[in-house]
Amino acid sequence: MDRIFGFAILSLFITALLLVPFIDFLYRIKLQRRKQKTRDIFNKKTPLFDKYNAWKVGTPIGGGILIICVVSVLTLWTYGIFQVEVKMWELFVLLFSFIGFGVLGTYDDFKKIFNGENSFFGLRFKYKFIIQWILALILGSVLYYKLGYNFIYIHWFGQIHLGVFYILLAAFIIVSFVNAFNITDGLDGLSPGLFIICLIAFLTISNHALDSFLGLFTALLIGSVTAFLYFNVYKARLWLGDAGSLSLGATLAVIGLLTGKTLAIALIGGVFIIEVGSSLIQILGKKFLGRRLLPVAPLHLYLLKKGWEEPKIVMRAWIFGIIFAILGLYIAFIG
C-alpha cells in the first residue's frame, strides 16, 4: 500500500511541476476555446450552452494531453520495475484505452480549434461514434480472448457466463462511459472530481483483489488528475478537452471491467450515468418524437438554467459521487 501512495504522490508532483509551463505552451500555440457556435449531434445550434459558456472563451484546452503523457511514461517505467507482477495484456488494455481514445480526442480538439465548427473531422458525431466502437470492440476482444473475461457476477444470481457476447457488453460499457464523461465535462472541475472519486473506489477493489499493477496504474491516474484539478476548479485555467474526456472515460470503464465487478461500475459511476441518461432521453425525444422530453439536457445545464451557481452544482455532484461510490463498493464486496 505504501508503494501505491508513493506513486500517486510522484505522479501528482511531476504533473504539478509541468502544468504551469504547459498552460503557457497552450497559449503560445493558441490551443484555446474560441468564440464559435457549438452544435449538437443533429448539427443544431445550442444557444443555451453558448450562453452559459461564453465567458470561458480563451481558456486553454489540452490538459488531458499532459495527463496522458505523464501517466503513460510513469506506467511504462513501473512496468519495467515490476514486470513480474504484470500481465502483458492487462498493460496493453490499460494503455490502449488511455492513449487510443486520447489520440482520437486530440485530433478532434485540434480540428475543432483550427478548422472551425464546420470542419468534417472536427469531428462529426457519427464518425466519432463509429471509431469509438471500433476501439471498444478491440478492447473487449482482448479482455475476452487474452485475459479470459467472459462472465458478469451478480450477488443474487451468481456468475452469468456470456461467452463471446462479453465482447459486446464490454464495448458497450466503454463507449457509454466515454460519452458520459464527455457530456459531464461541461462545468469547471465536475468530471475530474467525479473521476477521482470513482478511481478511489476502484483502487479499493483492486487492492482487495490483490491486483497490484492495476492499483499502481490507478494511483498514477489519481495523482496526475488531482494536480490537474487544482487548475480546473472554478474559474478554470485549463480544461481537459476531448483528448482528456475521451481518454479518461474509456480508461475508467476499462479499470472497472478489469476489477471484474461489472455491476458495481454503473453504481460507482452513477453521476456520469445520470448525466448521459438525461442527454439520451433528450436525443431520443428529438429523434423519434420530434420534440424535447426535458426542458434542457444534460442535467448540469438544466441546473444552470434553474439559477444554480456552477460551483454549487459541482460540489453537490461530488457529494452524490461519493454516495454512489460507497453503494458501488457495497455491491462489489458482497459479491
- The answer for residues whose C-beta is within 8 angstroms of residue 11's C-beta and 6 or more apart is 70, 71, 74, 219, 220, 221, 222, 223, 224, 227
- Give the least confident one: 184-198, 200-214, 254-268: 200-214
Residue 119 has pLDDT above 50, yes or no: no
pLDDT at 262: 85
Comparing 194 with 289, the larger pLDDT belongs to: 194
- Give the range of the structural domain holding residue 243, as residue numbers without chain letter: 2-334
Scanning the structure block, which residue is given the C-alpha cell 517505467? 77
The lowest-confidence range among 110-114, 164-168, 196-200, 209-213 is 209-213
Q: How sure is the predictor about 283, in pLDDT bands with cuts at 50, 70 and 90?
A: confident
Residue 158's beta-bridge partner residues? Answer: 154
- Looking at the chain, list the stretches that DSSP marks H as alpha helix, in order from N- to C-terminal side: 2-28, 47-53, 63-81, 88-115, 125-145, 165-184, 190-208, 212-232, 241-259, 262-268, 270-284, 299-305, 310-334
Count of other CB atoms within 10 angstroms of residue 5: 12
C-alpha–C-alpha distance, residues 279 and 158, integer Å: 33
At CA 262, angle to CA 81 and CA 89, rounded to 5? 30
Confidence of residue 328 (pLDDT cuts 50, 70, 90): very high
- Three-state SS for 143-164 is HHHCCCCCEEEECCCEEEECCC
**In the prediction, which pLDDT does 94 show?**
96
- 276-292 burial, b at 16+ Cβ within 10 Å, e below that, comes to bbbbbebbeebeeeeee
Interatomic CA distance for residues 148 and 141, integer angstroms: 10
Question: For residue 227, what pLDDT is reported?
Answer: 98
**Residue 69 in grid coordinates:** 503523457
Q: Does residue 273 carry a pLDDT above 90?
A: yes
Say yes or no to pLDDT of 43 above 70.
Answer: no
Of residues 328 and 56, more confidently modeled: 328
How many whole angstroms separate alpha carbon 269 and alpha carbon 194?
A: 8
Q: Taking residues 282-297, what's their average pLDDT?
A: 83
Q: Hey, what's the cell of 268?
A: 460507482
Phi, psi of 178 (to 5 degrees): -60, -50
For residue 276, the model assigns a pLDDT of: 95
Instruction: Compute the average pLDDT of residues 114-138.
Output: 76
Range 309-321 average pLDDT: 97
* Cα 183 from Cα 301, distance rounded (Å): 10
Kindly report which listed range (49-58, 113-122, 169-178, 269-278) carries the lowest average pLDDT score. 113-122
Total of domains in the chain = 1
**How far apart are alpha carbons 8 and 28 in whole angstroms?**
30
pLDDT digits (tens, 9 = 90+) for 210-241: 667 899 999 999 999 999 999 999 999 999 99
Confidence of residue 127 (pLDDT cuts 50, 70, 90): confident
pLDDT at 15 over 90: yes
Query: Is residue 329 predicted with pLDDT exceeding 90?
Result: yes
Q: What is the pLDDT of residue 332?
A: 86
